[in-house]
């Protein structure tokens, strides 16, 4: 069995677990009355009380896949190709780091779950995110970018993790949007890490991709279960960790330093949305943490697209920019410049299309927007 077959197996197993565990979480949420009620907040427009335990299912599917892989891999060693078997000895070395990553994910799922149950003040949530991110960075997961100052790399990594967590959390405003973007981003991290020969990282990314994809079976419009803050916190955290763990630049293979920016392109959509929303809220003098309809998904909707089509368009944008990002591993300077020009042009195009929709989108009580009977909602 080769590495690519193993990746397909992990994708399939995590997706199947994601489907099954999301189905169970949906039923459990209903029984426990752990639901997101319509109009609980001004910017939410879903019509029915919807279970909020999807994030727990995503984490459980990811964790079960990882633990199952560690148990099954030694038992199947005889069927692996030589290049796979030669790396199995690294499992004990990878175990402590994976355990720390899983513990950080569990802590953030717990934080998000509590916030789903009893909303936390924005500052308290930020402190919790920063504490977990700081501990993970202390545990050896670092973004270096040729920086040799440990306190600086610790601060950079902590800031990166907290920012991506909140970017994905911001993006979780329509059915299948955050989960779909996370699955696409995890897929590109998987491909990039595998091409760099970082197979433990790529398999971890495959498990994230499959778990999020399995969740989407029940989160597609109209969603019957939401991931809640528990899910957006975990997915944002894992995408940030994958971006920190993957070695993008290799002096032997990379003609430029452009691969260092691959994570920014893979995550371009949530990053762009976060900056756009913060800028709009600041411009209009509104609290940065208060939900509204200033997101790119809502602005596509205000331009006349249905919610499902708005989500589909954003997912396609994620694919277009992410696919170009992977090519930076090998492209010479002119090719890298074209990739950045293309990504920039896409984001500028989106900004121009949205320019007329920004003022109304920033008001949760705006009269324009979807009709009251719209079954979709910001999740």
pLDDT tens digit at each of 379 positions of the chain: 889 999 999 999 999 999 999 999 999 999 999 999 886 655 455 568 999 999 999 999 999 999 999 999 888 877 888 888 877 777 888 899 999 999 999 999 999 999 999 999 999 999 999 999 999 999 999 999 889 999 999 999 999 999 999 999 999 999 999 999 999 999 999 999 999 999 999 999 999 999 999 999 999 999 999 999 999 999 999 999 999 999 999 888 899 999 999 999 999 999 999 999 888 887 777 776 676 677 899 889 989 999 999 999 999 999 999 999 999 999 999 999 999 999 999 999 999 887 766 544 344 444 434 433 343 343 4
Domain ranges of the chain: 3-361
> Which of 164, 156, 111 is closest to 134 using CA atoms?
156
Q: Rounded CA gap, 65 and 55, in Å? A: 16
For residue 40, what pLDDT is reported? 60
- Strand 50-51 relative to strand 35-36, pairing: antiparallel
DSSP state of 223: P
Write out the DSSP string of 92-126: HHHHHHHHHHHHHHHHHHHHHHHHHHSPPPHHHHH
DSSP state of 36: E
Dihedral sign (CA 76, 81, 86, 90): negative
> Which of 297, 311, 228, 284 is closest to 40 using CA atoms?
228
């Amino acid at each position: 069995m080769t590495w690519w077959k193993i990746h397909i197996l992990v994708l399939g197993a995590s997706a199947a677990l994601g489907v099954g565990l999301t189905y169970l979480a949906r039923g459990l949420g209903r029984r426990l009355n752990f639901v997101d009620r319509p109009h609980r907040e001004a910017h939410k427009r879903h019509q029915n009380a919807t279970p909020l335990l999807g994030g727990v299912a995503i984490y459980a599917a990811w964790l079960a896949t990882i633990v199952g892989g560690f148990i099954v891999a030694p038992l199947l060693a005889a069927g692996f190709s030589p290049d796979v078997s030669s790396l199995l000895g690294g499992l004990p070395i990878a175990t402590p780091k994976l355990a720390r990553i899983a513990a950080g994910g569990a802590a953030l799922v717990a934080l998000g779950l509590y916030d789903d149950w009893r909303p936390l003040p924005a500052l308290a949530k930020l402190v919790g995110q920063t504490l977990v991110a700081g501990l993970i960075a202390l545990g050896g997961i670092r973004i270096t970018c040729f920086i040799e100052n440990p306190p600086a790399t610790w601060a950079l990594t902590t800031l990166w993790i907290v920012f991506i967590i909140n970017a994905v959390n911001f993006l979780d405003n329509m059915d299948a949007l955050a989960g779909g973007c996370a699955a696409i981003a995890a897929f590109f991290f998987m491909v990039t890490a595998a091409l760099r020969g970082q197979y433990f990282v790529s398999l971890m990314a495959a498990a994230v991709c499959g778990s999020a994809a399995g969740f989407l079976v029940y989160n597609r419009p109209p969603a019957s279960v939401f991931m809640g803050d528990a899910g957006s916190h975990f997915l944002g955290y894992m995408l940030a960790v994958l971006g920190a763990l993957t070695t993008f630049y290799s002096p032997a293979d990379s003609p430029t330093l452009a691969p260092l920016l691959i994570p920014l392109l893979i995550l371009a959509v949530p990053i762009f949305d976060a900056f756009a929303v913060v800028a709009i809220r600041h411009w209009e003098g509104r609290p940065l943490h208060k939900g509204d309809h200033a997101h790119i998904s809502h602005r596509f909707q205000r331009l006349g697209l249905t919610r499902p089509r708005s989500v589909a368009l954003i997912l396609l944008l994620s694919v277009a920019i992410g696919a170009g990002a992977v090519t930076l591993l090998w492209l010479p300077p002119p090719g890298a410049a074209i990739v950045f020009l293309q990504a920039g042009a896409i984001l500028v195009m989106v900004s121009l299309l949205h320019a007329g929709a920004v003022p109304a989108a920033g008001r949760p009580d705006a009269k324009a927007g979807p009709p009251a009977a719209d079954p979709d909602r910001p999740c």
